[in-house]
Amino acid sequence: MDLGIQWLEGVQGLAKRNSCVITGHYGPESAVTLFQGDRLQLLEQIPDAAASLVVTSPPYNIGKKYEKRLSFGEYLRLQRDTLRESARILSPKGSLCWQVGNHIGKDGEVFPLDIFVYRICKRLGLKLRNRIIWSFDHGLHCRKRLSGRYETILWFTKSDEYVFNLDAIRVPQKYPGKKYFKGAKAGQYSCNPLGKNPGDIWTIPNVKHNHVEKTIHPCQFPIELVERLVLALTNPGDLVVDPYMGVGSAACAAVLHGRRAAGADTVAEYLQIARERVKRAFQGDLRTRPLGRPIYQPSAGDRIAQRPDQLSSISQAQPRLFATA
């Protein structure tokens, strides 16, 4: 059977299949492409206007073990090259989502990467639709500035006519029983029965040591974050591309929802993990944090959530900045 038809069967049809097509080089017949090498080498293989979504989290140039620290100007030049090719492969109704945080200079100065990415994308003719804030509760504790607990996703489109499936990502309303108070609709429920627009602030746990999706990658993308973008900005059978694939979270999100995927990484070990994760996504047994699961909140009875008695003297010496009940 033709692979295009397989994808149009949707997620249930794919989950029933015992095999999947994972290739090392892009081809129009490829269900998933996991390319080992430079991201530009992969993008060059993809025809103009072939991708419905390019979504990635590029290196931040902060000296992680998978990146070489460059001058900031050289780093931006490499980002321009990637963004230029990403824009080329986007379909007229396609979207580009660039998830970035901050570059930290050697003297501790903060450079918000989304500011620089926005300028590059505007020069490429892309249009910003949302600056999504991804917030999370855990991370490094800073001593000379406030600890960073958010990053941004810049969502650009190539034209004014673009795919946006809002109903696919609606979330429960805060007041689902609210009714119109007056007017022609007085007494009727005022909410959308499918849920509300999730807004542009997304609170989704980042992948730390106890996260169900955690692998060896130090800066792993949570699948749930990509799932929202895949569901909202693509249709079944569409191609999702991640130029900086890592361990394949974007590819897994695509496969879980009946989309094709292509991505690149230079680290063979990461791609081997990506391959295993994608296979599990095809088979339906990939462990993920379920889309939309509420954030865990410890109960008052949890011992680890209680303040130890030996810290009481310290807290009494400090001004109280928060309520205890």
Q: Where are the domains of the chain?
A: 3-316
- Give the relative orientation of helices 113-123 and 72-89 as an angle to the nearest 10 degrees: 50
Nearest Cα neighbor of 272 from 36, 110, 29, 42 is 36
H helix or E strand, kind and range, residue 93: strand 90-100
Can you give the pLDDT at residue 52?
A: 98
Contact between residue 105 and residue 66 where contact means Cβ atoms under 8 Å apart: no
Can you give the pLDDT at residue 321?
A: 57
Sign of CA dihedral 161, 164, 165, 170: negative
Contact between residue 91 and residue 51 where contact means Cβ atoms under 8 Å apart: yes
Can you give the pLDDT at residue 308?
A: 77
Using DSSP bridges, classify how beta strands 239-242 and 51-56 pair: parallel, antiparallel or unpaired. Answer: parallel
Cβ contacts of 176 within 8 Å, gap of 6 or more: 189, 191
Can you give the pLDDT at residue 304?
A: 73
Fold adopted by 3-316? Rossmann fold (3.40.50)
Kindly list the averaged pLDDT for each block of 10 residues, start to end, along the chain of length 325.
42 45 91 97 97 93 66 92 98 97 88 96 98 89 87 97 97 89 89 93 87 83 94 97 96 96 96 95 91 79 75 62 56
Report which DSSP code applies to 306: S
Q: Three-class SS of residue 244?
A: coil
Q: 201-237 as b/e, with b when 16 or more CB fall inside 10 Å? A: ebebbbbeeeeebebebebbbbbbbbbbbbbbbbbeb
Can you give the pLDDT at residue 200?
A: 97
Can you give the pLDDT at residue 293?
A: 82
| pTM for this model (two decimals) | 0.86
Can you give the pLDDT at residue 303?
A: 78
Question: What residue spans of 201-296 are helical by DSSP H?
Answer: 223-233, 249-256, 268-283
Cβ contacts of 157 within 8 Å, gap of 6 or more: 93, 94, 95, 96, 126, 127, 129
C-alpha span between 186 and 184 (Å, rounded): 6
C-alpha span between 33 and 27 (Å, rounded): 8
C-alpha span between 199 and 196 (Å, rounded): 8
Cβ contacts of 229 within 8 Å, gap of 6 or more: 53, 55, 95, 97, 153, 155, 253
Using DSSP bridges, classify how beta strands 150-157 and 90-100 pair: parallel, antiparallel or unpaired. Answer: antiparallel
Contact between residue 40 and residue 227 where contact means Cβ atoms under 8 Å apart: no
Tell me the sheet residues that pair with 90.
Answer: 51
